[in-house]
Amino acid sequence: MKIIKMTAALLGATLLGGPLRADVSVNIDLQKTGAPISPYIYGQFIEHLGRCFYGGLWAEMLQDRKFYYPVTDDYHPWGTSTDPNWKAGPYHYLKASPWKVIGPPGTVSMDTHAPYVGEHTPVVHLPGDGSWAGISQDGLWVLAGSNYVGHIVLAGAAGAAPIKVRLALDDGTTLTQTIQTVSADFESYPFQFTAPAASENARLEIVSQGRGAFKIGTLSLMPADNLNGWRRDVVALLRQLDAPVYRWPGGNFVSGYNWRDGIGPRDKRPPRKNPAWKGVEPNDVGSDETMQLMQLIHAQAYVALNTGLGGVEEAANEVEYFNGPTNTPMGRWRAENGHPEPYGVKLWAVGNEMFGNWQLGHMPLADYVRKHNQVADAIWKVDPGAQLVAVGEVGRWDQTMLTVCQDHMNYLSEHIYCRDLPDVAAHARQLADQIRRVAGAFREDRHDIPGLAARHIRVAMDEWNYWYGDYLYGELGVRYHLKDALGVAEGLNEYFRNSDIYFMANYAQTINVIGCIKTTPTAADFATTGLVLELYRHHYGEIPVQVAGETGDLDVAAAWTADRKALTLSIVNPDPDTARVTADFGGTAFAPEAMHWVISNPDPEAYNEPGKPPQVVIKKEPAAIKNSAFEAPGYSVNLYRQDVR
């Protein structure tokens, strides 16, 4: 059975196996409180990987718009891969150009002598006999009545015009924008369409019947309602989620990322092979775009720095770009890019998982601690107020970092991922077990390592989640079920019990990629795990209180609101039968009615799918509380709020 027993100093649960009891009793000592829950526990993590940004959060509809891959007559753009490490079934990824040649073989060549961006630019050679020639991309989704805007960068011979930009729909409808003249130098030309019908396989064509040749530097197509390049529907969900902080841009990605590639005019930023994952990084989203997103969703950025292949000066320059005044070299560059005011980023991850041999730039621990300290010194020279999160892993790595680098960090990063278990209660318990394990190890280190306790270093669990199942939403795009939502709720409860240890937690990752929001090209919705994160963020209390009692498989946690005028009670029930929890509040009287939020479904495998009616939702209803008894339906996350009488 599960025994929830906390002391004032350590709000930690002890878990034992056992059957669920339909009726359980707990003692809630309202005078024994833990450290206030940090709002950063509700943080998120977004990485340049799969369909997190491109194909998810960013509104660009076109694949490989900067022609990283050469356009050839051999059209086979998609590859299929598996992930044996995580037992993920086949998923598709872009391995070659998604642009199809219109015209006979040899119609398109790649200019490597004076490319507009990247290593080469496609050149369309026109036959001059009145037949059409150009390139096209299919697989585009559009909604009936929606507007779409774009631009194309062209150069060419005078005889190459007029050039047509056409959007062809499934039903045979073709919408055309005509560019009457082009010059020998690259120029950008806008276009727009209104889709008369919906399509999931629309095709964009760039064609001409003229003479000579024309070059396509780059092009773009987005829904007209995008918010500075971001998808409006996804931004709305991010605002609803209300996470206070986002870790960016990685993850494994960051150890091979040159942040300068994401700066300056977007069309001229070079496309690169993603250094850690499948696919191409077009660098359309960089530092300035990310900070604009943070402004849109009222969140803070937590920026990860490249301590893999990146050097000390590179990290310091990046911090200066974000935070330096305009009389510094990087601050002046930021101002030239349209952002004169410093962004004021406070939180910085000094590297990512540098303990792992999968990490670009991995090095022995003895070498890395020196590099960490050098990077930290360089950052603090640029910005003395920077808050630094060091790379951590429980065991020897943590002990060495906390010994050698304790005066060069403010927080220590940890990561946990859990896989699928057949038993629902055991599956749901995993995250809480791991969160408690890390907290326990950190407490031991704090006790054993000289000088550490006085520094008040806390843990940033800046990656945590379930990771299992097939990649249905692109690379790492797994589906989440109700049983995963139960586990996330138990994980949050465990963070609250260890609020003295955990400063921040970043659910990994927000969009599609093991994410709490899933998208299609035209729809977006919360996965089951996102519902829990939203519910707790908006309605759970801030001051955890002691809960003690034998509760079987149930997970019970409680917290005062900040003003101590109401108590919130969380009950996670990972079993099929309804349970009743009777609470002893030690004489404190509460109002007989409570507000009850519940996430439940009779099927623990239930899931939500964007564009379809959800199977799992948050239900809110008043509840009459008699004799301090609270009900929890089978397979449910429950949150009760009672006002003090």
Active site residues: 353, 463
* 475 close to 49: Cβ distance less than 8 angstroms: yes
Task: Please give the structure tokens belonging to residue 98.
Answer: 């998604």
What is the bridge-based pairing of β-strands 411-418 and 211-223?
unpaired
Q: Residue 634: what are its φ and ψ, rounded to 5°?
A: -60, 145
Find all residues with CB under 8 Å of 85, minimum gap 6, and list them: none
575, 18 contact by CB (below 8 A) = no
Distance CA 92, CA 472 (A): 9
Is residue 604 classed as helix, strand or coil in its secondary structure? coil
CB 511 within 8 A of CB 51: yes
Neighbouring residues of 308: CB distance < 8 A, sequence distance ≥ 6:
254, 255, 256, 351, 352, 354, 359, 360, 361, 362
Cβ count near 264 (within 10 Å): 15
Residue 178 φ then ψ, to 5°: -110, 130
Q: How many CB atoms lie within 10 A of CB 162?
A: 12
* Farthest CA pair distance, the chain: 93
> Percent helix, strand and coil across the chain, each rounded to 5?
25, 35, 40
Q: Structure tokens of 193? A: 């369409």
Task: Give the strands of the sheet with 187-194, arranged side by side.
Answer: 108-111, 121-127, 211-223, 147-156, 187-194
Q: Which residues contact 81 (CB under 8 A, 6 or more apart)?
A: 90, 91, 93, 278
One-letter amino acid at 410 equals: N
Give the number of other Cβ atoms within 10 Å of residue 129's Cβ. 8
Question: DSSP class of residue 271?
Answer: P
Structural tokens at position 444: 């031991």
C-alpha distance from residue 38 to each of 31, 60, 302, 504 (Å): 20, 35, 15, 7
> SS3 string of 457-522?
CEEEEEEEEECCCCCECECCCCCCEHHHHHHHHHHHHHHHHCCCCEEEEEEECCECCCCCEEECCC
552 membership: H or E segment, kind and range: strand 543-552
352: left (phi over 0), alpha (psi -120 to 50) or beta: beta
Cite the beta strand spans of 14-120 per DSSP E.
Answer: 14-15, 23-33, 43-45, 78-83, 88-94, 100-102, 108-111
- What is the tally of helices (H) and strands (E) in the chain? 9, 35
How many Cα atoms are found within 13 Å in the side-chain-facing hemisphere of 567? 24
Alpha-carbon distance of 128 to 160, in angstroms, equals: 9
Q: Which residue has the tokens 């391995």?
A: 95
- Which value, to the nearest 10 degrees, does the dihedral of the CA atoms of residues 79, 278, 116, 227 take? 110
